[in-house]
């Protein structure tokens, strides 16, 4: 197949050395890139104490990993973050900027990847992996330095091709550090469309606060968003794509020297792609999402409990919720952390579940729970067994079109109409 996106999840090894992660959904292909998401959860749907989140990516040559933590039951908040470019999986301890477990890319293998645990995690945490493969696929993983001057463009030319979509992650500081205080996380996407469309989800949990100071955001203005003390601390707008890569314009910056991790993807005209915002239902039951306009093979979601786009959330049960969900035809995994805002003793947790969505409120009580129903002609259907009846929440999504099975009826690539293609 020209492009294949597949999702799987494994328990992390608890000893050093290599671990093979594979899925038969790749159909014998060798991946070209992988995205990793991990929390401190070890059992499906069972919350683990402390909010610990790791994000990472590799293309086999380059890699990066970002880690965050917010300790539970502290009268003065204890939060930290760090990032590295010599590993693709990072799990932080729950007491500071040190590492509980870290793994580096070792090699691509048939149907998967081999990673090497240089530091073995203390427990078999659940690790979600998204594979990107196919003869028509081009990928690049890397980092770039964010311009410190507002309204200044940074041209990222290291990609080496014109990407269809780029995923971004940041912890708001230079990478390859020894760690910083506070929980800063941003996960977003930019779509090579006309005009460029971009989305991000972000969370900040400030360190050393007697009353938890937490902010959340879902944005359709910026692919890169970092929050601090109730407002944007850093915001990056992707302005254009070209044959070498993309440009990022600094729209907000109150620091300097920040580095951003990215995963760039080109599908070579083999499949369509789409990104947008999903508004959650306010009653239980099935909900059909038709915005993609095609049948997906995989969908990725950036999750928060924000009800209004581009408005920093400070509510006690909404601000401290952050999640990443991925699903394909037969696999669905949701990873999230919860931190209760505005309380005197920190209340934090990590969660992983084999459902499209399991996103509790900030205090850990049930928020949104949804299971996969089907991929449809124009999108997908999911079923909400639990939802918020008060207001819809805004989540960003990224969908990649399926391909016809070998020998099946398909429309020739040259005849397809791609609404995201440049003309």
SS (H, E, C) 102-137: EEEEEEEECCEEEEEEEECCCCCCEEEEEEEECCCC
Q: Which of 150, 140, 202, 200 is nearest to 172 (CA)?
A: 202
Measured in whole angstroms, how far is the alpha carbon of residue 208 from the centre of its chain?
27
Share of the chain above pLDDT 90, in %: 93
Indicate the average pLDDT of the chain.
94
Q: Is it the case that residue 136 has pLDDT exceeding 80?
A: yes
Look at residue 17 in the predicted model and tell me its pLDDT. Answer: 98
First to last CA, the chain: 25
Q: Is it the case that residue 415 has pLDDT exceeding 60?
A: no
The secondary structure of residue 220, as a DSSP letter, is S
- Average the pLDDT over 101-123 and give the result: 98
Q: Is it the case that residue 290 has pLDDT exceeding 70?
A: yes
Q: Which of 165, 157, 152 is nearest to 249 (CA)?
A: 152
- Number of domains within the chain: 1
At 353-397, the pLDDT tens digits run: 999 999 999 999 999 999 999 999 999 999 999 999 989 999 999
The pairing of beta strand 126-133 with beta strand 33-39: antiparallel
How many angstroms separate the Cα of 108 from the Cα of each of 61, 91, 112, 251, 264?
A: 11, 22, 6, 38, 18
Look at residue 421 in the predicted model and tell me its pLDDT. Answer: 45
The residues with which 159 forms a beta bridge, in sequence order, are none
CA dist 336 and 331 (Å) reads 17
| Confidence bin at 414 (pLDDT 50/70/90) | very low
User: Sign of the C-alpha dihedral, residues 329, 263, 185, 278?
Assistant: negative
**For residue 182, is it within any domain?**
yes
In this structure, are residues 261 and 175 in contact, taking their beta carbons and an 8 Å threshold?
yes
Look at residue 420 in the predicted model and tell me its pLDDT. Answer: 60
- Average the pLDDT over 244-266 and give the result: 95
| Confidence bin at 257 (pLDDT 50/70/90) | confident
Of 13-17, 41-45, 365-369, 401-405, minimum mean pLDDT range: 401-405
**For residue 30, is it within any domain?**
no
Share of the chain above pLDDT 70, in %: 95
In this structure, are residues 251 and 236 in contact, taking their beta carbons and an 8 Å threshold?
yes
Look at residue 1 in the predicted model and tell me its pLDDT. Answer: 54
Look at residue 256 in the predicted model and tell me its pLDDT. Answer: 83
Q: Which of 198, 179, 223, 226 is nearest to 65 (CA)?
A: 179
Q: Is it the case that residue 226 has pLDDT exceeding 80?
A: yes
> Can you state the percent helix, strand and coil of the chain, rounding each to 5?
0, 55, 45
**For residue 121, is it within any domain?**
no
Counting Cβ atoms within 10 Å, is residue 24 exposed (0-12), middle (13-18) or buried (19+)? exposed
**For residue 273, is it within any domain?**
yes
Read off φ and ψ for residue 352, nearest 5 degrees: -140, 140
Q: Is it the case that residue 85 has pLDDT exceeding 70?
A: yes
| Confidence bin at 71 (pLDDT 50/70/90) | very high
Look at residue 138 in the predicted model and tell me its pLDDT. Answer: 98
Look at residue 161 in the predicted model and tell me its pLDDT. Answer: 98
The total number of residues shown for the chain amounts to 423
Look at residue 177 in the predicted model and tell me its pLDDT. Answer: 84
Look at residue 123 in the predicted model and tell me its pLDDT. Answer: 98
Q: Is it the case that residue 413 has pLDDT exceeding 70?
A: no
CA dist 207 and 222 (Å) reads 25
Containing structural domain, residue 356: 59-83+137-415
* Cα angle 33, 37, 43; round to 5: 135
pTM of the full structure: 0.95
**For residue 328, is it within any domain?**
yes
In this structure, are residues 253 and 146 in contact, taking their beta carbons and an 8 Å threshold?
yes
Q: Is it the case that residue 418 has pLDDT exceeding 80?
A: no
**For residue 97, is it within any domain?**
no
CA dist 306 and 218 (Å) reads 6
Look at residue 404 in the predicted model and tell me its pLDDT. Answer: 58
- Average the pLDDT over 15-27 and give the result: 98
Helix (H, G, I), strand (E, B) or coil at 250: strand
**For residue 152, is it within any domain?**
yes
Look at residue 255 in the predicted model and tell me its pLDDT. Answer: 84
Q: Which of 145, 142, 185 is nearest to 163 (CA)?
A: 142
Read off φ and ψ for residue 159, nearest 5 degrees: -60, -50
**For residue 38, is it within any domain?**
no
Q: Is it the case that residue 409 has pLDDT exceeding 50?
A: no
């Amino acid at each position: 197949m020209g492009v294949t996106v597949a999702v799987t999840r494994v328990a992390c090894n608890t000893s050093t050395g290599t671990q093979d992660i594979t899925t038969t959904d790749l159909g014998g292909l060798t991946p070209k890139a992988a995205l990793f998401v991990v929390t401190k959860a070890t059992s499906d749907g069972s919350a683990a104490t402390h909010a610990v989140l790791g994000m990472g990516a590799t293309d086999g040559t380059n890699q990066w990993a970002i880690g965050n933590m917010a300790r539970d039951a502290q009268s003065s908040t204890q939060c930290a973050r760090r990032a590295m470019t010599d590993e693709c999986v990072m799990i932080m301890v729950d007491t500071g900027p040190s590492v509980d477990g870290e793994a580096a890319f070792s090699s691509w293998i048939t149907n998967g990847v081999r990673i090497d645990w240089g530091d073995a995690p203390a427990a078999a945490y659940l690790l979600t992996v998204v594979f990107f493969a196919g003869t028509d696929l081009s990928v690049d993983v890397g980092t770039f330095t964010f311009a410190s001057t507002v309204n200044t463009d940074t041209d990222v030319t290291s990609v080496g091709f014109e990407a269809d979509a780029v995923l971004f992650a940041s912890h708001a500081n230079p990478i390859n550090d020894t760690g910083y205080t506070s929980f800063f996380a941003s996960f977003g996407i930019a779509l090579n469309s006309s005009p460029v469309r971009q989305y991000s989800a972000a969370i900040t949990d400030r360190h050393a606060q007697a009353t938890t100071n937490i902010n959340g955001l879902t944005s359709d203005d910026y692919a890169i968003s970092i929050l601090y003390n109730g407002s944007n601390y850093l915001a990056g707008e992707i302005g254009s794509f070209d044959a070498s890569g993309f440009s990022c314009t600094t729209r907000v910056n109150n620091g300097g020297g920040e580095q951003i991790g990215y995963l760039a993807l080109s599908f070579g005209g083999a499949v369509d792609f789409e990104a947008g915002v999903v508004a959650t239902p306010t009653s239980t039951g099935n909900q059909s999402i038709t915005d993609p306009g095609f049948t997906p093979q995989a969908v990725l979601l950036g999750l928060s409990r924000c009800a209004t786009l581009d408005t920093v959330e400070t509510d006690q049960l909404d601000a401290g919720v952050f999640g990443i969900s991925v699903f394909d035809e037969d696999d669905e995994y949701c990873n999230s952390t919860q931190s209760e805002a505005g309380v005197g003793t920190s209340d934090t947790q990590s969660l992983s579940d084999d459902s499209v969505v399991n996103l509790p409120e900030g205090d850990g009580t049930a928020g949104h729970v949804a299971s996969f129903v089907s991929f449809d002609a124009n999108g997908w259907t999911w079923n909400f067994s639990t939802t918020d009846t008060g207001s819809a929440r805004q989540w960003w999504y990224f969908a990649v079109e399926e391909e016809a099975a070998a020998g099946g009826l398909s429309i020739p690539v040259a005849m397809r109409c791609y609404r995201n293609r440049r003309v």
